[in-house]
Chains A and B, each alone.
Chain A
Amino acid sequence: MIHFVLLISRQGKVRLTKWYSAYSQKERTKVIRELSGLILTRGPKLCNFVEWRGLRVVYKRYASLYFCMCIDEDDNELEILEIIHHYVEVLDRYFGSVCELDLIYNFHKAYFILDELLIAGELQEPSKRTVARLVAAQDSLVETAKEQTSSITNIIAQAANV
């Protein structure tokens, strides 16, 4: 099971955190601090696994971002690398060659996509196309709702003017 997902920039800024196991706010800050110290200092050619508090953290660097997932000792580390890549590919497809700035300004979108990929720390959908389709469908629901409200506001505004 994946205990948490972290996205940390090379400067140690947190870009996304998702906790599937119970960690209090205090512990979360501590975990992030500890792990960024551990992972950001590792050289480029080393393996992508770090042992940490009896668990294992699998990380992979994409451009300036480190994608980290913490798993149990007996989970398949290589598969987690695939899951990370899977997520990155979906992000890439959604944003169109995704970069760190996309994830900063649209952090909520990154969370929505992750929620279509993982629930309860387990993989939910192996097909990138399905994930993209589901996210797009929900986005369009939001758009329609927005148009409706704005048209209502327009009507009210016009009515007020008259």
Chain B
Amino acid sequence: MNPFSSGTRLRDMIRAIRSCKTAAEERAVVRKECAAIRAAISENDQDYRHRNLAKLMFIHMLGYPTHFGQMECLKLIASSGFPEKRIGYLGLMLLLDERQEVLMLVTNSLKQDLNHSNQYIIGLALCALGNICSAEMARDLAPEVERLLQFRDPNIRKKAALCSIRIIKKVPDLAENFINPAASLLREKHHGVLITGIQLCTDLCKVSSEALEYFREKCTEGLVKTLKDMANSPYAPEYDIAGITDPFLHIRLLKLLRILGQGDADASDCMNDILAQVATKIESNKNAGNAILYECVGTIMSIEDNGGLRVLAINILGRFLSNRDNNIRYVALNMLMKAITVDAQAVQRHRATILECVKDSDASIRKKALDLVYLLVNESNVKPLTKELIEYLEASDQEFKGVLTAKICSLVEKFSPEKIWYIDQMLKVLSEAGNFVKDEVWHALIVVISNASDLHGYSVRALYRAFQTSAEQETLVRVAVWCIGEYGDMLVNNVGMLDIEEPITVTESDAVDALEVSIKRHNSDLTTKAMALIALLKLSSRFPSCSERIKDIILQNKRSFVLELQQRSIEFNCILQKHQNIRSALVERMPVLDEATFSGRRAGSLPTSVSTSTGTARNLPNGIAKPAAAPVADLLDLSSDDAPAPSSSGGDFLQDLLGVDLSPASAPPGTSQPPKAGTDVLLDLLSIGTSPPAQSSSPASNILSSIQDDKASLANLNGLASLTSLSPNATSASPAPMMDLLDGFGPSPQKKEENGPAYPSLVAYESSTLRMTFNISKQPGNPQTTLIQAIFTNLSPNVYNDFLFQAAVPKFLQLHLDPASSNTLPASGNGSITQSMKVTNSQHGKKSLVMRIRIAYKINNKDVLEEGQVSNFPRDL
């Protein structure tokens, strides 16, 4: 006998593992046990097989690999005794899942056990089949299970019913075989059989409309009667839970009735009375009762309309909602979410209570309630609801703030009745939870502010105020910085004062202070700092009195470790010192950002920059309305907006923003200024400004050209260069001057490949008896894949039978071999066999194809084998 396997008992092993003080100790014990079990397995030890498997199951539960024990399960299942089978099936369900090939091997044993004379063994097999069977097994064993639905012992019938559920879920085609036997289960008295039968019918209805029709017609009345009997049944101790007879059966009946009643007025009518009775009679002081009521409400809400019942249901939910038990409130919110599509008005009545649930201490309830509030908001109640939510934002805990903020922002955007309200609410959110606001949300706010020309002054002043109190909210700072840069003069001069505003005195140096604070704060991130830098440049022309100070602040960033800031600061300094004449034109206010394009892009309808540009082209009027000097200023802003892109996760949106600014700028024909002659730096910066001569072509080519031109200085834009490849048509569409700019952008090499180059056929292999020729071709548009047609020619005077060609390729290649045209090769080149294959080269361009081949055939029933290597493929495959 094996010296290991007689070792520890299961109990001892568990004890040994539990007494381990460290994970390493535990691993050591497990390793030792596993070694012993492996030894026992390899010796095919029978006496302790089931004990070993039990140990393995425990080890498996601890998370150690136990695949080596899988075959042991099969052996135990195949043995004759009940104890072995019991453990074997348990191991099978525990150690294997339906996706493992090993499982197929058990099909035969299962079939035998399903026909066993011992009903407990049949039970084991049904249980295993129901829990882990795969589609193939389901197909193979369905007839057995179907037969067992009529087995004499009810405990087998109920197991067979649940097993059938798994089968029809795996193979819905089999559903029709189960309809009749399932229907007969509905007449059973045994509760186990009844609830499993009802469950089977429910699942049949889900996979087959035929079944649904059948049960609706034949069984609705019977089910209603069963439910009625249940509801009126006297005390039954065996099934009683909290004074209710078998709540499980109640719930399953209600569930099936829901499916039968949905979309069918007659069936719904038939069940009205009993639903009303259940809804009114069931006690709601225990969980079991509430579970039934909850199911009942769900059924009432789903079946065809009956006003009275609906009222009853909504009232139950109202009662649930004010219940002190969190579980009950949770399910009430859950159900109200479904009810809202049926009867929004009734749900609105509970608005106040729902709003209270948003403030609950339980995260699950809060989230559910918030989802529900989100659905409840409409144009008429958006103001009070948003007010409540924003007030709560202050008190909510950190992890909830993210979700809450996202929901508020989305509500405010969706339903805002007027712009000023939108700006106000967003400001509140930004000051309260700015750090949770997503990039696209504050970008949207900037777009809206930019579009509300009468609110520019108001917005910048409000932002300035908020900035003073909530400077720790990053996104608030960004929006404030942007607005101060754009509308700084309005901040100082109180331009466009609204009646509701309190007057505020801000000096020019106060405004610069704010920017300086945000640029110097160590916890500002790169985006904020870069935005502040641009804003400073803009203010330098708006506040002449502060220009010296601004220059100092900008200069300080010359030593920044961040390349982006350093470079900007040098460039801006250059503008301030040497190019006073163009400065004011350069830092003009940005043109109005186009809302339609922005929202379109947010919705994801215009994902790439290429389509962006075409999108903006449609919205040209917006750009044309701008003053002549605008383009230049825009372009600068373009770089400003883009500056943070490398660090920010919302980078691609920023690039989008830039697309918005840019295209209107270059588009208006004749309005753009002639490019100024400038120094190198300026040329770089303004290189986009030089492109307006090309306005006649598509805006896309504008972007391309500028990118090509200033690759030296606008390093950050280089990321965009990749876009160029997306629009090869721009290359051809652009007029002559553009060609220069695009020089070095090479004629696209893909074009060549698209034509599908021709390759000469090559003799891949030749021996004295056999020749193999390859005809090579490429699929257009798929350079990685090579199509090869192999042609075999017999050079000997003998016929080759059972001809078989095999090929192997290294890992970076993928080979797909089609069947050969024949397996007989006539003698002396009097015919040939062709076989095509497809090779995909994952290292296309780096490595060339290579292949090992083996050709087997028979001459006069004698095996011949030829082997070789093909390495003379053309290089660029």
User: A interface vs B, CB < 8 Å?
Assistant: 14-20, 22-25, 29, 42-43, 45-51, 76-79, 81-83, 104-105, 107-108, 111-112, 115, 119-120, 122-127, 129-130, 134, 137-138, 141-142, 145-146
Contact = CB atoms under 8 A, between A and B. Distances in A.
B327 A78 contact: yes
Contacts of A46: 326, 361-365
Contact of B195 (A20, A126, A137): A126
Interface string B123-158: 100110011000000000000000000000001001
B291 A120 contact: no
Nearest to A42: B363
Interface in B1-49: 11, 14, 18
B90 A134 contact: no
A153 B215 CA distance: 57
Interface of B: 11, 14, 18, 54, 57-58, 61-63, 65, 81-83, 86-87, 90, 93-94, 97-99, 120, 123, 126-127, 130-131, 155, 158-159, 162-163, 165-166, 191-192, 195-196, 199, 238-239, 241, 246-249, 251, 255, 287-288, 290-291, 294-295, 298, 326-331, 334, 361-365, 367
B82 A142 contact: yes
A96 to B, nearest CB: 18
Contact of A22 (B94, B98, B367): B98
Given A14-B63, A77-B331, A145-B81, A112 B162 contact: no
A49 B158 contact: no
Nearest to B154: A130
B291 A79 contact: yes
Contacts of A124: 158-159, 162, 192, 196
B362 A47 contact: yes
Given A104-B18, A122-B162, A145-B82, A24 B99 contact: yes
B23 to A, nearest CB: 12
Given A51-B364, A142-B83, A29 B63 contact: yes
Contacts of A42: 363
B127 A119 contact: yes
14 contacts: A14-B62, A22-B98, A24-B99, A29-B63, A43-B361, A77-B327, A78-B327, A79-B251, A112-B86, A119-B127, A119-B162, A122-B196, A123-B199, A124-B159
A134 B82 CA distance: 14
Contact of B166 (A16, A115, A120): A120
A138 B241 CA distance: 26
A78 B290 contact: yes
Nearest to B121: A141
Given A81-B327, A111-B94, A126-B248, A47 B364 contact: yes
Contacts of A105: 11, 14
B162 A120 contact: yes
Contact of A78 (B192, B239, B291): B291
A75 B334 CA distance: 11
Contacts of B362: 45-47
Contacts of A48: 326-327
Closest 3 CB pairs of A and B: A78-B291, A47-B326, A119-B162
Contacts of A45: 326, 361-362
Given A104-B14, A119-B163, A79 B295 contact: yes
